[in-house]
Amino acid sequence: MRLLGLIKHALLRARNKLNPHVASKLLSRHDFSNSRIRTILRESGLKVGDGLSLRAPLLLEDGLMISLGNHVWINYDLTGVGAGHIEIGDRVLIGPHVTLVTANHPLDPLERAKPHRVEHGKITIGENAWIGANVTICSDVRIGKNSVIGAGSVVTRNIPDNVLAAGVPCKPIRLLDTARDST
């Protein structure tokens, strides 16, 4: 109970408003129930559907905007980088040690050398997708519904619906028979 009192006091000092970065710091250090995790994330302004299961730690950069669908499963050590948007659809499974990067820098070295030259994009993960362990998804990428991203992949381009994709860079390997392959 003392821990919750300290948390409430810290929240009051922050004008009763969490941000995703503060919420992720809280969730990186404490073992809360999934119900409490949903409450903390909602209080930080994130859209969180019903039935979220999340295993700490969760690391989110300040300014990142996230929308989580219903019945999303997030395993240990999800990292969200940048101040862009991340949309995760219903029934998405995310393996351990996944990194979602919404920040990008210009390719032109002269532009990149200028202060604050960060571009913020969007990542969309379609419903019923499965993201394997140790996957990195880069800015401005869409993962199609029912698709599976193999462990260790680096996703730099859009992945269509209903495919198994893997590799560095990640590429579709085969179509999934969604009647047989999805459960």
Q: Which residues are catalytic?
A: 105
β-strand 130-131 against 103-104: which pairing, if any?
unpaired
116 touches 133 (CB < 8 A): no
End-to-end CA distance of the chain: 41
Question: Which positions ≥6 away from 154 have C-beta within 8 Å?
Answer: 135, 136, 138, 167, 168, 169, 170
| 91: number of Cβ within 10 Å | 19
